[in-house]
Structure 1
Amino acid sequence: MDIPIRISRSCIDVNQCKDDFIQRRTLERIFHFSKETIAELKAKANTEIGTDKISSLQALLSHIWRSVIRNRSFEPNEDTKYRIVVGARQRCRELPENYFGNAILDTFVAMKSKELMEQGIGNPAWRLNRKIAAMTGESLKKYLETWPASPEFITLPGGDALVKTSSPRFDMYGTDFGWGKPVAVRSGPSNKFDGVLTLLCGAEAGSVDVEVCLFPETLEAIANDQEFIDTVTN
């Protein structure tokens, strides 16, 4: 039988992934960012770089990234990564209009801890902006064409990374299943590990709720970080 894509058994270590999940207990907390605060972060990031291309979401992600790494007490030259998921649907013209499955590809931005701390929110936000801009239909198509020759899978990040999931663009509060308007939106217990950030739209237009899942000591440090908490709305 001709199998066009052959995946080696050693390509992914299932047991290792399982161990990573259960090795340490994580906690999660919801942080609410108002429309006004996000606008301030966006203006600050763009001013630092001298551009107007950094989006509200990119500025918010940069702010959270810096806050988490600052409270993880990384060494100055230690590497840190921010993994983001980019939508392919609006980028790939070849994608049929009736295709309703996922169409995403992940990428990441890497920086030294020292760079992240010293360069404000503008520099990491700009790097996120440029990385996302580089994910064109052509680059996505090239990835799909070359993947069968060397299959690889997304693996759980180590303690040096953050991972963004979901999107505040999903109108969760506009959905009514007959029970009335939603009171709150949460992501549930699955796929929770140290460093995963789940972004959800807030109840107020333009606001964002961020589910932050971290090891207890890091989450507690962030909750006591005045620079971060000053941007959070109760």
Structure 2
Amino acid sequence: MTSPAVRVVSTRTVKPAPPPPPRERIPLTSWDVAMLSLNYIQKGLLFAPPPPPASPPLLSTAHVVGHLADALAAALHAYYPVAGRLVTDPHPAGCSVSIDCGGQGVQIVHAVADGVSIADVVAPPDADIPRIVHSFFPLRDAVNHDGHHLPLFVVQVTELSDGVFVGFVYNHALSDGTALWNFINAWAEIARARLAPTPALTSRQPPMLKRWSPDGAPVVLPYADLSKLIERPEPPQLRERMLHFTAESLAALKECARQELLAAGDTAGAAALTRFQVLSSLLWRCVTRARLLAPDQETVCQVAINNRGRLRPALPPEYFGNSIDVISTEAVRASELLQRGHGWAAAAVGRAVAAHTDTSIRARVAAWTSKPAVYTMGSFDPTGVLMGSSPRFDMYGCDFGWGKAVDARSGTANKTDGETALYPGRDGGGSVDAELMLTPEHMAALKHDDELWLFAN
């Protein structure tokens, strides 16, 4: 249900043009099936209005919607699974889930947010993200299993008083964020070329649609009725803040951790430090303090990690599907996490990442195959933190023909206390934006954390 401030003007179905290859089914892998009980991905970009002149002219949001729809139809020719639906087939041992690539279509919604401006969407550094943003995403409560009857991709183009918000709602059983942003940027490239005086030929690699599994066999689930695995809990009451880290502050944070590790004699850990490790360490420690965990309460830092380059042989960046796992540091008592320092926590994240090799990935797949399960929001440790999304996603390269986005935002999907989604920084140059979700009381406590505000703004 949309907010009273947002009204829908029109909805149109977009199908691949020209039509895709003959109808086929793409079986889901263990990584895909594990997503069936989670929400659709909800990410969006905020744009200033298209400047004149444009050819053809984008004189109104209706023109923008038409421009986006035409380019999307062309993008779906290569990414035709996005225009399909999920289908479950019975097997003697249970069932299997596939993408029915029948070209059923995606949807574009044109909406208007009366009286809402860009300033109402972009929160100042010391304020929560405004809740009006959640109204810019359709299918707010849908879970990925609903892709059996709902479109796998829905776009809402919301007209603001001085800009446009383009919200993407995307079935996570289709693929992970890497493949999603490859698809969106391919779409944007087509749209941008159509407004250029001389359309450029794309050099983008086509998606690899063949799914990976260790033995190439489809996943058969030992359940006759998958709906019994699907949970639809009420979303928690959370506050959301977008923390900005400049390239300079991340460099200072990394140097702080490096010096701590060198002082402790961990030269290998100091040499291997990355910006991701130190940012994860900072948020893990600060959230732990804000929660006032009991000294002997154990906590972990979990990380959503891309498997493509870690498999042997590696999967190409164009692999279209899910290829992620959630890994974890070793558990540590809250008091020890805070006493051991920033360097130790950063190195702990580094050890967890380094241990995630081809061997461990294949062992995880084998373990899941022997006992299939789906992720639920209860799967995540309530005393730990979870680092998701990635500053490597090319969000601000996504130009539909009238310039890069002003900001990036998300909806209500798959959010839990202690989760952080990392985005490329809006000002570029190696900066990072961290969208942090906490309960109201934990967010209030975080306001007084000196270590966080030494590096974040």
1:13 CA displacement:
6.5
* Map of 1:184 onto structure 2: 407
Q: Which of the pair has more CA radius of gyration?
A: 2
Q: Which shifted more, 55-64 or 148-157?
A: 148-157
**What is the distance in 1 between the residues matched to 2:410 and 2:353?**
24
Shift of the 79–8 alpha-carbon distance from structure 1 to 2, 3 Å rule, reads: farther
Question: What runs of 5+ residues in structure 2 fail to find an aligned partner?
Answer: 1-90, 94-219, 263-269
* Map of 1:123 onto structure 2: 344
Q: CA RMSD in A?
A: 2.2
Q: Which shifted more, 54-63 or 216-225?
A: 216-225
1:183 CA displacement:
0.5
4+ residue runs over 4 A deviation: 12-15, 94-98
Aligned ranges 1:64-213 → 2 under 5 Å: 64-94=283-313, 97=316, 99-109=319-329, 110-156=331-377, 157-204=380-427, 205-213=429-437
Give the 3-state SS of the residue equivalent to 1:172 in structure 2: coil
Number of residue pairs matched? 228
1:226 CA displacement:
2.4
* Map of 2:257 onto structure 1: 45
Give the 3-state SS of the residue equivalent to 1:230 in structure 2: helix
**What is the distance in 1 between the residues matched to 2:260 and 2:312?**
35
**What is the distance in 2 between the residues matched to 1:113 and 1:13?**
33
**What is the distance in 1 between the residues matched to 2:356 and 2:454?**
34
**What is the distance in 2 between the residues matched to 1:96 and 1:80?**
32
* Map of 1:2 onto structure 2: 92
Question: What runs of 5+ residues in structure 1 fail to find an aligned partner?
Answer: none
Give the 3-state SS of the residue equivalent to 1:189 in structure 2: coil
Quick one: which amino acid aligns to residue 59 of structure 1? V
Quick one: which amino acid aligns to residue 107 of structure 1? I
1:178 CA displacement:
1.7
* Map of 1:62 onto structure 2: 281
* Map of 2:120 onto structure 1: none
Ranked by relative contact order (alpha carbons within 8 Å, sequence separation 6 or more), the top structure is 1
Quick one: which amino acid aligns to residue 103 of structure 1? S
Higher helix share: 1
Shift of the 179–58 alpha-carbon distance from structure 1 to 2, 3 Å rule, reads: same
1:95 CA displacement:
5.7
Shift of the 111–155 alpha-carbon distance from structure 1 to 2, 3 Å rule, reads: farther
Give the 3-state SS of the residue equivalent to 1:175 in structure 2: coil
